[in-house]
Every structure is written in C-alpha cells, then in structure tokens.
Amino acid sequence: MASNHIESNTLQFSEDMEKPHILVIATGGTIASKEGELGLTPAMSGEELVSDIPGIRNVCTLDVIQLMNIDSTNMRPCQWLKIRDAIMEHYNCYDGFVILHGTDTMAYTAALSYLIQNSKKPIILTGSQKPMGNPYTDAKINLYQSILYAADAKSCNVCIVFNGKVVSGTRGRKQRTRSFDAFESMNFPELAIIRDNRIIRYYTEALPAPEDLITYDRLNDRVFVLKLTPEVKSEIFSLLFDHYDAIILETFGIGGIPAYDDSFEQAIFHWVDSGKTIAVTTQVPEEGCDLGVYQVGKKYSDHPGILQSDDMTTESIVAKLMWILGQSSEQAKISQLYYKEINHDRV
C-alpha cells in the first residue's frame, strides 16, 4: 500500500553491524569523461570514480565492475540488456546496485524498470553534469547520495538519484542541459530527497517480496517517436511501415491530430489495422494526454489498437513498448501489458 507520509531516516552502523553490500556498475558518461582533442569523452574507470568519494566505505561494502565506457548518446537497447544481465548475474550477492551513466539517455535506460520488475533491491541510476575531474563537479555528491540510497533497507525498484532527488525510473526526464538540477519527476511525486546523510521519503510503499521479482531478457527496438508539426505529411506512416512495428505519436496539446483532410485518419487506422501499434501521447511535458476531449482526437479514442498514454513520459513509453513488443505481437496482449502499471509509470 502506497503512502505519502513523510518519513526521515539517517543511515548509521555500529562496528558490529554488517554493512550493506553494493555493486557499482560503470558504463561511462560525463561523470567519467576527460577533455580530449575533440571534446569530452569517457576515460575514467569506475574504480577511479569511486576512489574520489570520501566516506563512501563508511556507508557500505563496495564492489565495482566496468561494463562499458561510452557516451550515453551511444547507449542502445542491446546495452540495456547487458546492464540487466550484469545485475541479474550478481543479484543474489548484493543488497543494491548503482549504475553510473550519462545523463542524456539515462531516462531511457531506466527501461530497467520493465526488464527487472518488483525488485526488493534498489537499482539506482546516477551521473553528473560535470566530469569527476572538474573542480566544480556535481559528480561526488550524486555518487555518494546514490550509494546512500541504495544502502537503505527501505529502498527498492529502479530509481534515478540526482541532485538530492529520488525519482521513479519511469518518471524521470532530463529537463536542463547545464544545471546540476537536471532531472525532474514528471507528473508524479519525487520518492524522496536526500539532505546530507538523511533520506526524507515523500512516497513510501511496501517492499516487494523476493518471490515477486520478474525479469525479462527480450526487447524489440523497432519503435519510432513521431512528433507532429504543422504540415507534417501523413505519408510519413507509409515511409516508416517497413522499418518499425510501433509509432509513438506525440500529438498537439491534450490530444490533437490534424483533421484538415482524411489522410491522417486513413494512415493511422491503416497502421493499426495492419497489426502494428500506435501509442498516443502529447508533446507537452506535463499533465498528459486525453484523446476524448476535442473533436480532432475523439475519433481515435475508442479504437482498440490505439493505446492512450495518459501522463507517461515519452522515454518510458519508448522503453515500455520495446519491452512489450519483445514479449508479444498480439494486439490484445500488447494492450493488456501497456495499461498495466509498472513502477509508477501510469497512475
């Protein structure tokens, strides 16, 4: 049972207490970058990054693996699966996991919410806006607070920890390109904030039981995001037909789809009636989509093959559809899984 009761706790360990065992999985990103001839590129190892954090070994027993060392622009679904495999390979040996990741695609890699569901053990993504070696970096506090949160027995599931905020993995979005306060929790409360060594929880829930854990190892990456713009041509659907199995349609406003002729209606209905998937969302960041409000959207609201995304983020829609289409191509099953709430992705 979820609750919005505010709860605060500070991690403290006596000398005879066994500290939590945390695995750090390094993948690259700005946090690991150094300046080169062509700009910043990942160069530091996970071991080097962890060694720069004072007091971190007072919080937990720590191990590090270097899974890859890439700019997150180059992070792809096949690498989400590698991260998933690394977590599951070590799952029984650790109390929590911290993934060091670039910020640009971190919200997509939180697809781990779908690949590893109902995890009693926390799986935390973090990174930084400035490299660890920068004298004004945010890397140290983000890494420290992520490990602090991962080491807490009340933490669970996939989250982003950044700039003192704890955000559900399906609700995070990078909203700022330069500020340390880069991530927001979209259309859902922050799970907690972290101040010094204190975790202040705004949203608590019952921990999943160990037997509730479900994992998946298949994705279908044939998912395309189509953002409507004035005068975009409906022929785009036929151009995409051979290359993609699903389109995420970012509509105008609360759910507006052009109706100046019948071409969009024909293209959309042809797509879904051919067995392919369309998920409708809005290009407006906050408050979500509702096709039933305006005439320009209502004709699509009752079609069983057109999925409505409510207030989900586009990043979570992409990840969720890749996961769903990796499990089934049947429209009824796709719809069933899409409307199932997973890690707070839709409420």
Is residue 30 flagged as an active site residue? Answer: yes
Cβ contacts of 92 within 8 Å, gap of 6 or more: none
DSSP states along 274-290: TT-EEEEEESSSSS---
Contact between 40 and 34 under an 8 Å Cβ cutoff? The reply is: yes
Would you call 236 helix, strand, or coil by DSSP? Answer: helix
Distance CA 299, CA 283 (A): 19
Active-site residue, selected from the candidate residues 10, 27, 30, 103? 30
Q: Which helix (H) or strand (E) holds 97?
A: strand 96-100
Q: Which residues of 144-165 are buried (b: 16+ CB within 10 A; e: fewer)?
A: bbbbbbbbbeebbbbbbbbbbb
Q: What is the CA radius of gyration of the chain?
A: 21
Q: Which residue has the tokens 């670039």?
A: 102
Catalytic residues: 30
